[in-house]
């Protein structure tokens, strides 16, 4: 089962959390316009859309989105772009230097806004003056600061709907090449982050991307492929063209970008075997640069694509030490990915499973219930039983039984049976909960019956005394 990068916890019936969006860092080249990393640190605050502490998802060190538009108002390139885009994208604002200054100032305000309401206030007051850069900045900032629980509310906001209507018009009417690779990958990322699965928008994006794909850099390519795969929009022509460009630039890909790209292709079902083999060779050369999140995701990609690579799995296994996995960002995702990758690929690496079991046993309280079920299934598929781990899993299930979905419990119990492990504690807890629910339901009916009887008695009394 998969916990996707969608923070709404929209669980899907696939194996492994492929790309936790707050789990790792992808940094754009300093010479390029900043673009949001597919996965970044730190995670957006969990206080809601209006939290003031959210940081940009572009740089792990706290960089800001499109800062060259917000902080360098004398930048010649920015002013030139604002003057060109202004009249066309802002609905008729005056041409010349004034629109450029206004749009630069608006972008600075959007970048500095730390809450969704503040961003939407700017949208509400100044949308008619927005150019394409302002539209994309506003969308990205909203995707950055808004947590999963508030995304539905944001999508229903009339100000947000107006922003999206303008963005759709811009994508539909923009001339070929008017939107740069950074613009397009930023939009794809933000739409995916906000779960705006709009086929029309992604279709227009794909059209623009196809026209400029040769200008895409590794960070743009990997992010765009990730967004389309995560959103479920497989455009075969786009993936085919992107795969060719990835091959041309693969030597320049960083570990996170390699993992993002292979995952996107495996997830979408578009598996270019030669690209995967080249990615494996490059990963082996750069393995010391890979973080656990990167190599766990990379291995899962190969398992999902059904392309076993014995040497890659063997060398990554050497990197899987207790220290490395214990200190990994988002350790539950890393551990679950690794267990699934080795079990799905049919690679029996006893050392990896022992390390995974040891780390999971001491950190199981950090696992989501779905991850616990998925980890259990992975061990069962690999036919590996670890007494300490499964004792901890049993305790976790009993203690958090109400949190488990019915399907997760069924999968977990099936895994226990497959390994010949006792399920007595878990089934006892389930029966106790069912009895409690039954008793609660019975008490509710008694209370309801009492009030109905009381209502009937009062009604009869009123009739008699009427």
Selection from 23, 42, 40 nearest residue 336 by Cα = 23
pLDDT tens across the length of the chain (466 residues)? 343 333 233 322 223 223 222 222 232 333 333 333 333 323 333 334 443 333 222 222 233 333 333 333 334 444 444 444 443 433 333 333 334 889 999 999 999 999 999 999 999 999 999 999 999 999 999 999 999 999 999 999 999 999 999 999 999 999 888 899 999 999 999 999 999 999 999 999 999 999 999 999 999 999 999 999 999 998 999 999 999 999 999 999 999 999 999 999 999 999 999 999 999 999 999 999 999 999 999 999 999 999 989 999 999 999 999 999 998 888 999 999 999 999 999 998 999 999 999 999 999 999 999 999 999 999 999 999 999 999 999 999 999 999 999 999 999 999 999 999 999 999 899 888 877 766 555 555 555 555 455 455 555 555 566 5
Judged by DSSP in three states, 339 sits in: helix
Q: What is the 3-state secondary structure (H, E, C) of 80-145?
A: HHHHHHHHHHCCCCCCCHHHHHHHHHHHHHHHHCCCHHHHHHHHHHHHHHCCHHHHHHHHHHHHHH
Judged by DSSP in three states, 146 sits in: coil
**Strand partners of residue 2:** 12
**Cis ω on the peptide bond leading into residue 64 (within 30° of 0)?**
no
pLDDT digits (tens, 9 = 90+) for 234-244: 899 999 999 99
Distance CA 268, CA 295 (A): 19
pLDDT digits (tens, 9 = 90+) for 55-80: 222 222 233 333 333 333 334 444 44
Q: Quick one: 429 exposed, middle or buried, by C-beta within 10 A (0-12, 13-18, 19+)?
A: middle
Q: Would you state the structure tokens that stand for residue 72, as one six-digit string?
A: 């360098």
């Amino acid at each position: 089962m998969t916990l996707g990068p969608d923070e709404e916890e929209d669980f899907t019936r696939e194996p492994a959390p492929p790309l936790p969006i707050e789990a790792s860092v992808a940094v754009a080249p300093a010479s390029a316009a900043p673009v949001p990393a597919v996965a970044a640190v730190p995670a957006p605050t969990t206080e809601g859309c209006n939290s003031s502490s959210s940081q940009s998802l572009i740089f792990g060190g706290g960089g800001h989105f499109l800062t060259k538009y917000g902080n360098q108002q004398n930048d010649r390139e920015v002013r030139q772009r604002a003057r060109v885009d202004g009249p066309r994208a802002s609905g008729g604002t005056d041409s010349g230097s004034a629109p450029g200054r206004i749009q630069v100032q608006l972008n600075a305000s959007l970048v500095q806004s730390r809450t969704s309401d503040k961003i939407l206030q700017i949208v509400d007051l100044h949308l008619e003056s927005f150019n394409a850069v302002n539209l994309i900045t506003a969308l990205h900032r909203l995707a950055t600061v808004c947590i999963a629980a508030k995304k539905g509310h944001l999508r229903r906001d009339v100000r947000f709907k107006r922003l999206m209507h303008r963005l759709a018009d811009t994508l539909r009417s923009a001339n070929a090449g008017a939107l740069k690779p950074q613009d397009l990958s930023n939009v794809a990322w933000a739409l995916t982050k906000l779960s705006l699965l709009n086929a029309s928008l992604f279709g227009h994006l794909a059209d623009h991307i196809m026209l400029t794909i040769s200008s895409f850099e590794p960070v743009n390519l990997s992010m765009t492929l990730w967004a389309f795969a995560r959103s479920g929009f497989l455009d075969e022509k786009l993936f085919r063209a992107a795969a060719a460009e990835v091959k041309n630039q693969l030597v320049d890909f960083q570990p996170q970008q390699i993992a993002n790209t292979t995952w996107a292709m495996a997830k979408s079902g578009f598996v270019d075997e030669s690209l995967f083999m080249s990615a494996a060779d490059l990963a082996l050369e750069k393995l010391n640069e890979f973080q656990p999140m990167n190599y766990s995701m990379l291995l899962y990609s190969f398992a999902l694509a059904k392309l076993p690579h014995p040497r890659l799995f063997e060398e990554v296994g050497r990197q899987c030490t207790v220290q490395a996995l214990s200190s990994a960002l988002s350790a539950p995702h890393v551990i679950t990915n690794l267990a699934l990758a080795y079990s799905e690929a049919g690679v029996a690496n006893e050392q990896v499973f022992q390390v995974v079991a040891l780390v999971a046993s001491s950190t199981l309280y950090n696992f989501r219930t779905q991850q616990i079920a998925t980890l259990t299934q992975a061990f069962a598929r690999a036919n590996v039983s670890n007494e300490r781990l499964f004792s901890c899993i049993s305790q976790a299930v009993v203690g958090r039984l109400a949190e488990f979905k019915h399907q997760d419990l069924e999968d977990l119990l099936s895994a226990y049976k497959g390994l010949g492990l006792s399920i007595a504690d878990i089934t006892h807890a389930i029966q106790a909960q069912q009895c409690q629910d039954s008793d609660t339901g019975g008490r509710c009916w008694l209370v309801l019956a009492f009030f109905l009887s009381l209502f009937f008695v009062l009604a009869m009394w009123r009739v008699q005394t009427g």
